[in-house]
């Protein structure tokens, strides 16, 4: 019976397949196989023994069912894995399984393999989303809209600027993923307290050789575990990416409000239902789900931080929480990346509302430009500010055009003519360097991926 929503509602096949139990078991078997091959290369065990261990280190021989059966007796996951592999090996090869290793050599190295696969999936999704948003930035480079600060109409901007801003942020998130992958995905074969003592004089060489076989850089130093600051970094990067997705989805939700409705997510009127009781509803459910699930991803940061300080060379308090938060955070972040790709790929624009909202304040949003132009034409900046502010307050109070209020002020109009005023009050021509900014970002983005 399914209980957790990840089992039936959230997640993509590609990320779930990485973290499903059989793949996790295979990764641990890969580490045991690499250990045997490294020990054979350094003449600790016979090569034929290592080859036998390697040939049986597959889930078709060491089944999940059998390992779980042994664990019910031993109450120890890695000891059960070792026994399950040993009993499949011919001759006395099984006697050499796991020689010189401690449980977390297997756990941490196999987790590194899982993280590596997961981050590759996440990077591909971030790249795809970034390219999609860059396309929207290019298409909307001249799409002038109202910019809002504190929830209030501020100055004109463009949708090109809005999308380019998100793309630039996603570039940084991609970099953070790469940095986390470099620090997190390391090999470890250092024994119970990190000294490699059980492997004798060649212990450190075994550590390096195992990492080489697994195609992982070797950890520079460990105790019983790879230090959890690396895992904190990864969890924080995933949390940070979730804030970007949350930001994007939140903006779209706000812009889809009935009273704004400048753009929104696609709604299929033939099949989709917005409400069980209100037939007219077309809710931004994709964006809302992104915002909701992102909170769960971020919530794991605290647990990850608390897993870094462990007793002495290590205690077990990190293990149980990591079994939950590693797969869940990867699966959920991948899921909302997918949702955000879907959201941005099916965005619907409402040009008439964009234009209506741009002009909603009767020209008040052009007050800054008026002040600046008056200053350029010789009026003192403070005087210009005071005059425009007085006109703006009156226009707002009386629901009149700011342009008309300005025309009534002789002390202002001696610096302007009517043609100047018409030009100044056009919001479509007050977007500064926005086109240059977006074009430069588009150009620099060509070299990212």
The angle formed by the CA atoms of residues 212, 217 and 223, to the nearest 5 degrees, is 105
Q: pLDDT value at position 52?
A: 98
**Two structure tokens written together for 219:** 């950890």
**Two structure tokens written together for 74:** 């031993």
76 labelled catalytic = no
Block mean pLDDT (10 aa), the chain, length 449: 89 97 98 98 97 98 97 95 97 96 97 98 98 98 97 97 98 97 97 95 97 98 96 98 98 96 81 60 85 98 96 93 97 98 96 96 92 90 91 90 88 88 94 97 88
Please give the Cα distance from 171 to 155 (Å, whole number): 27
What pTM does this model have?
Answer: 0.93
Q: pLDDT value at position 278?
A: 61
Contact 224, 201 (CB under 8 A): no
CA 105, distance to chain mean position in Å, is 28
Q: pLDDT value at position 408?
A: 87
Q: Is 417 exposed, middle or buried (0-12, 13-18, 19+ CB in 10 A)?
A: exposed
Contact 260, 254 (CB under 8 A): yes
275 labelled catalytic = yes
- DSSP code, position 309: S
- Could you say which of 179, 275, 320, 444 is catalytic? 275
The SS3 of residue 154 is strand
Q: pLDDT value at position 2?
A: 85
Q: pLDDT value at position 271?
A: 67
Contact 207, 188 (CB under 8 A): yes
Counting DSSP H helices and E strands in the chain, the numbers are 19, 4
Q: pLDDT value at position 258?
A: 92
Please give the Cα distance from 34 to 218 (Å, whole number): 13
Q: pLDDT value at position 277?
A: 52
Q: What is the DSSP string of 189-258?
A: ---SSSS-GGGGGGHHHHHHHHHHHTT-PBPS--SSS--THHHHHHHHHHHHHHHHHHHHHHHHHHHTST
- Could you say which of 150, 276, 280, 312 is catalytic? 150
């Amino acid at each position: 019976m399914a209980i957790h929503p990840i089992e039936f509602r959230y997640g993509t096949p590609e990320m779930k397949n990485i973290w499903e139990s059989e793949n996790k078991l295979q990764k641990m078997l890969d580490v045991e196989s690499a250990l045997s091959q490294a020990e054979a290369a350094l003449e600790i065990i016979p090569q034929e023994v290592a080859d036998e261990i390697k040939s049986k280190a597959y889930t078709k021989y060491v089944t999940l069912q059998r390992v779980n059966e042994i664990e019910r007796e031993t109450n120890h996951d890695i000891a059960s894995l070792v026994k399950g592999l040993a009993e499949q090996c011919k001759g006395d090869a099984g006697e050499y399984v796991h020689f010189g290793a401690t449980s977390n050599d297997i756990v941490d190295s196999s987790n590194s393999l899982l993280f590596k696969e997961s981050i590759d999936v996440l990077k591909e999704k971030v790249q795809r989303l970034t390219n999609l948003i860059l396309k929207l930035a290019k298409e909307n480079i001249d799409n002038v809209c109202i910019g809002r600060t504190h929830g209030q109409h501020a100055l004109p901007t463009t949708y090109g600027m809005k999308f380019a801003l998100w793309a630039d942020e996603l570039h940084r998130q991609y970099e953070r993923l790469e940095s986390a992958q470099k620090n997190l995905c390391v090999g470890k074969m250092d024994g119970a307290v990190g000294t490699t003592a059980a492997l004798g004089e060649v212990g450190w060489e075994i550590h390096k050789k195992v990492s080489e076989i697994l195609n992982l850089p070797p950890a520079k130093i460990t105790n019983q575990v790879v230090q959890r600051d690396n895992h904190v970094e990864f969890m924080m990067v995933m949390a940070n990416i979730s804030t970007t997705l949350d930001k994007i989805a939140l903006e779209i939700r706000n812009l889809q409000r009935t009273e704004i409705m400048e753009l929104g997510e696609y709604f299929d009127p033939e099949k989709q239902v917005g409400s069980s009781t209100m037939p007219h509803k077309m809710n931004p459910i994709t964006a809302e789900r992104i915002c909701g699930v992102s909170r769960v991803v971020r919530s794991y940061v605290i647990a990850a931080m608390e897993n870094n300080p462990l007793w002495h060379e290590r205690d077990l308090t990190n293990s149980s929480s990591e079994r939950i938060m590693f797969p869940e955070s990867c699966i959920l972040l991948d899921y909302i990346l997918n949702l955000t790709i879907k959201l941005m790929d099916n965005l619907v624009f409402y040009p008439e509302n964009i234009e209506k909202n741009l002009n909603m304040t009767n020209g008040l949003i052009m007050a800054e430009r008026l002040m600046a132009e008056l200053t350029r034409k010789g009026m003192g900046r403070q005087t210009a500010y005071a005059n425009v502010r007085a006109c703006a307050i009156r226009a707002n109070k009386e629901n009149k055009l700011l342009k008309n209020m300005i025309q009534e002020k002789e002390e202002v109009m001696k610096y302007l003519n009517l043609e100047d005023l018409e030009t100044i009050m056009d919001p479509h021509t007050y977007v500064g360097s926005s086109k240059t900014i977006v074009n430069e970002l588009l150009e620099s983005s060509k070299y990212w991926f």
